[in-house]
Chains A and B, each alone.
Chain A
Amino acid sequence: MMPEIGQLALILALLMALVQGTIPLIGAHRGTTTWMATAHTAVAGQFLFLAIAYLALTYAFITHDFSVAYVANHSNSALPLMYRISGVWGGHEGSLVLWALMLAGWSLAVSLFSKGLPAVMAARTVAVMGLVSVGILSFTLFTSNPFEPIFPVPADGRDLNPLLQDPGLVIHPPMLYMGYVGLAVPFAIAVAALIGGRLDAAWARWTRPWATTAWAFLGAGIALGSWWAYYTLGWGGWWFWDPVENASLMPWLAATALIHSLAVTEKRGAFRSWTVLMAILAFSLSLLGTFLVRSGVLVSVHAFATDPTRGVYILMLLLAVTGISFALYAWRAPTVRSHAEFDPVSREGALLANNVILMVALAAVLLGTLYPLLLDALGMGKISVGPPYFNAVFAPLMVPLIFLVGLGPLLRWKHVSPLEVTRRLWHTLLAALVAGVVFPLAMQGSITLMVVLGTATGFWILFTIARDLYGRATHRGGNPLTALRKTPAGYYGMTVSHLGFAILVIGITLLMAFEQEQDVRLGYGQSHTLAGYTYELRETYGVRGPNYEAVEARVVVTRDGEFVTELFPQRRVYRVQTQPMAQAAYQTRFTRDIFVALGEPLPGDTWSLRLYHNPFQLWLWIGATLIVLGGLVAAADRRYRVFARRTSDSPADDTGRASADDLPEPAGRSSVS
């Protein structure tokens, strides 16, 4: 019974989305208020029905309803409850339902918080999101129905892929989807603004918290995926430049460009058409990612099982969404005037340069990801583009970007004298360079040019942040605490994210330069020393999990004869899908991870083991967490809500300058002039 209810709810959700995507648009065009208002009713209905469908699917998983093909293929009676709940998004069909549910959730949120927007704008925004829903829901219903029955009903399910039976999977995809789908909000607002021809500061200010929130979720999703790959896959790596990883990185890069460009558009009225382009691009790349993951055009470790009809459908959806919005852009954007004056050396200049570099980095990822396909399509042979390419191209782009991250917030808007900047900042730069040499030498004992560049630019950000905070606190000689308390949350959000970025950069630099791995063969009582740590294999024994059997090894780690820890890596074989899986064991400390994966039994009562020594691995996770946290802090800035209330009784103003001036300038009081 429940599957039928779910099926019906899914169909009703599609009908609701159809209403949501059409009537308000017509209403906005003709100025019919009641028609526009249907947006808000329809979106609530769509969300409700999708929630029902989602719960029905979850219910089928929890109650082992193997008459549903999707459940039979992704669950098993021995599967623990947690993985039955998360199993809902463990495969293609179910994850689409989650996608759609989140899209409806974001749309509902837009509808609920749209009081500050002109009614026409709100109606159009919600309607655009409704049209995207129509695409996703019809794709789900027509090609990937999660409620499809299976007959005869199998006695038991084929189990969830063992890789996905991990706490990491419980949170990684929902976070990632929240980000992917959240980018639909700035997209929809941008398209609505293009339709109405109003791209003003109000539009930018209204977009900012949404874009920042989606950006934070996407970052969290990527970081969790990386963390999950690090400890679950047992490969010890955290980023493989796999097409699927790239598919999530590209919208993140575009969204990063967007939130920075929005800052300029809001404060200075500049770069309007560029900002709109970024908003459209970020969501387009989300859809491109969906296409790449689910169509099978690229070979990836993580791709879903593929089916050509699905590929064609998503491609059509992708082309419809991007084609229409970019056509709208080509039609409307030329009439948008940005009228701000700035020097190449100014905060605008720095932010625009940041956007340029982010776009180039994005283009590099896109090029590397699609190049094999392009060559193949042209009949020019098959090549592979992998980590060596991406590392070689990405690293040189990151150095100037990181430098700008430190510099940008210290610059004034509009015009800065380059000489003055140099005079004021040269000692900070020098300190960063010294730190870039001394810190790796002290921690690791050696340096290379890349290490110095990476570490120094990381410290450059840290020092400029410290400098800026100090400047704010001591400004005008008042109480430092009061001065800091008066500083808006948006500034702190930015600072926390930049701080996280600095830590991430230093961590990645040192990790990539000094990580060590080795495969060893050990008998009981034998040991191997890597990077000063001695790993001794003590014993192995069988372990029985709820739905797997495992061999567990006890590895004692010592350093200079002193006990460090015991690690218990496992090699699991899941009963249903019978593929062996390494469950690595690791110990994290502030400046290093030690990591052991258990391989296979070898002749002569020995085992193969892989050992990793990963310096500063923890800094990656700390950095990523701060980046995300900063985004959330910035999105929560009171000014956005105050503004929303204020504009509800006055129409949005078109100049973008006047309204920007009556808001507290976030940074700049301590700026270098």
Chain B
Amino acid sequence: MKSLLTTLGLCLALCLPGPGLAGGLDPTDFDDPVLEQRYRAMLHELRCTVCQNQSLADSDAGLARDLRRELRDQLRAGATDEQVIDYMVARYGQFVLYRPPLSAATFLLWTGPFILLLIGLAALYLTARKSRRRDEQPIADAAARERARRLLNEGKDA
């Protein structure tokens, strides 16, 4: 088994039943360019479940083809983006969404970076302010200050 796996090297070949790495190429024939655009956008939002990490737009797997066909049919029939997404989630779960919806479980995912940014900027401001206050300590003579710094430094760094 191990040698079989190693044989595949990059294991791209593993997941794709049938045709491989040609990208998910389905000619479309929407009359309405807006619909075409919605379809394209949607393909990039949805994950192909059989594949390694690929969107429906990029996958050439049989299932991805079927799902693209389904998507086109539904869009033509007038389904909204939300309806299409609900349809996919009902069958394959949240896993198909490349943009995980905000929920208790994904709260940290969506807010984490921005919370960190606030913390970081606050820390930056405090560091700068603290450094200023130290600067304002009255050591009159520059040479004395330099000497003091050297002393401090030797104590700390050695």
Chain A residues packing against B (C-beta within 8 Å): 69-70, 73-74, 90-93, 150, 158, 160-164, 197-200, 233-237, 240, 242-243, 270, 298-307, 335-337, 339-344, 346, 348-349, 352-353, 356-357, 359-361, 363-364, 367-368, 371, 375, 380-389, 392-393, 397, 517-521, 571, 577, 579-582, 597-600, 602, 608-610, 654-655, 657
* Chain A residues positioned under 8 Å from B123 (CB to CB): 356
Partner of A579, one of B20, B47, B52, B120: B20
Give B108 Cβ to nearest chain A Cβ, in Å: 8
Query: Residue-by-residue, is B139-156 near A (CB-CB < 8 Å gives 1, otherwise 0)?
Result: 000000010011011101
Nearest CB on B from A105, distance (A): 25
Whether, in the assembled complex, B117 has its beta carbon less than 8 Å from a beta carbon of chain A, the answer is yes
- Cα A302 to Cα B23 in complex, Å, equals 15
Closest Cβ–Cβ distance, residue A248 to chain B (whole Å): 15
- Given pairs A305-B10, A363-B113, 18 additional interface contacts (CB within 8 A): A73-B6, A91-B6, A163-B12, A163-B21, A200-B157, A234-B21, A300-B52, A301-B51, A337-B157, A344-B129, A352-B124, A380-B105, A382-B95, A384-B95, A387-B44, A388-B44, A579-B20, A580-B20
Are A383 and B7 within 8 A (Cβ)?
A: no
Q: Is the CB of A357 within 8 A of B117?
A: yes
Closest 4 CB pairs of A and B: A386-B98, A521-B27, A599-B25, A341-B135
B27's partner among A240, A305, A361, A520 (CB-CB below 8 A) is A520
Please state if B9 and A519 are interface contacts (CB–CB under 8 Å): no
Tell me if A233 and B23 are in contact (CB < 8 A).
yes
Q: Is B99 in contact with A299, judged by CB distance below 8 angstroms?
A: no
Contacts of A299 in B (CB 8 A): 52-53
Contacts of A520 in B (CB 8 A): 27-28
A and B contact pairs by CB, cutoff 8 A, 7 listed: A93-B6, A339-B153, A356-B123, A359-B120, A383-B100, A384-B94, A519-B28
A197–B22 touching, CB < 8 Å: no
Which residues of B lie under 8 Å from residue A392 when comparing CB positions? 99
| B128 lies within 8 A of A342 (CB) | yes
- Also in contact, A519 and B124, with CB within 8 A (given A161-B10, A301-B12, A579-B20): no
| CB of B18 to closest CB in A, whole Å | 9
- Point out the residues of chain B lying under 8 angstroms from A161, CB to CB: 8-10, 12-13
Q: Chain A residues near B117: list those with CB within 8 A.
A: 356-357, 360, 397
Indicate if the CB atoms of B153 and A581 lie closer than 8 Å: no
A235–B135 Cα gap in the complex (Å)? 57
Do A600 and B25 touch across chains, with their CB atoms under 8 A apart?
yes
Is B90 among interface residues, defined by CB-CB distance under 8 A? no
Cβ B26 vs Cβ A519 within 8 A: yes
Q: Mark B54-88, 1 if CB is under 8 A from A, else 0.
A: 11001000000000000000000000000000000
Residue of B nearest to A582 (CB): B22
Tell me how far the C-beta of B129 lies from the nearest C-beta in chain A, rounded to whole angstroms: 7
* Chain B contacts for A163, CB-based, 8 A: 10, 12, 21
On chain A, the residues within 8 Å of B97 by CB distance are 383-384
Query: Residue among A74, A383, A517, A571 with the most chain B CB within 10 A?
Result: A383
Inter-chain CA distance A457–B94, complex, in Å, is 36
B12 touches A580 (CB 8 A): no
| Given contacts A381-B94, A654-B154, A580 and B53 within 8 Å (CB-CB) | no
Q: Are B98 and A384 in contact (CB under 8 A)?
A: yes
- How far is it, in angstroms, between the C-alpha of A93 and the C-alpha of B134 when the chains are bound? 55
Shortest beta-carbon distance from A209 to chain B in Å: 23
CB-nearest residue of chain A to B149: A339
Using Cβ atoms and an 8 Å threshold, which residues of chain A touch B128? 342-344, 346, 348-349, 352
**Residues of the A chain whose Cβ atoms lie less than 8 Å from the Cβ of B34:** none
Let me know if B5 and A305 touch, CB within 8 A.
yes
A582 to B59, CA, bound (A): 13
- Whether B55 and A386, one on each chain, are in contact in the complex, defined by CB atoms closer than 8 angstroms, is yes
A597 touching B25 by the CB < 8 A rule?
Answer: yes
List the B side residues contacting A353 at CB < 8 Å: 121, 124
For A349, the closest partner residue in chain B by CB is B128
Cα A90 to Cα B6 with chains together (Å): 11
* Complex alpha-carbon distance, A184 and B120, angstroms: 27
Q: Report the minimum CB–CB distance from A194 to chain B (whole Å).
A: 12
Contact call A235/B23, Cβ cutoff below 8 A: yes
- The 8 Å CB contact of B112, one of A162, A303, A367, is A367
How far is it, in angstroms, between the C-alpha of A305 and the C-alpha of B13 when the chains are bound? 10
On whether A608 and B6 interact (CB within 8 A), knowing A161-B12, A299-B53, A383-B97, the answer reads no
A655→B153 contact, CB < 8 A: yes
A242 CA / B22 CA spacing, docked (Å): 18
- Which residues of the other chain, A, contact B55 by a CB distance below 8 angstroms? 386-387
Residues of the B chain whose Cβ atoms lie less than 8 Å from the Cβ of A236: 23
Closest chain B residue to A521, Cβ basis: B27
Least CB separation from A574: chain B residue: B20
Q: Give min CB distance, B133 to chain A, whole Å.
A: 9
Contact code string B117-131 (vs A, CB < 8 Å = 1, else 0): 100110111011101
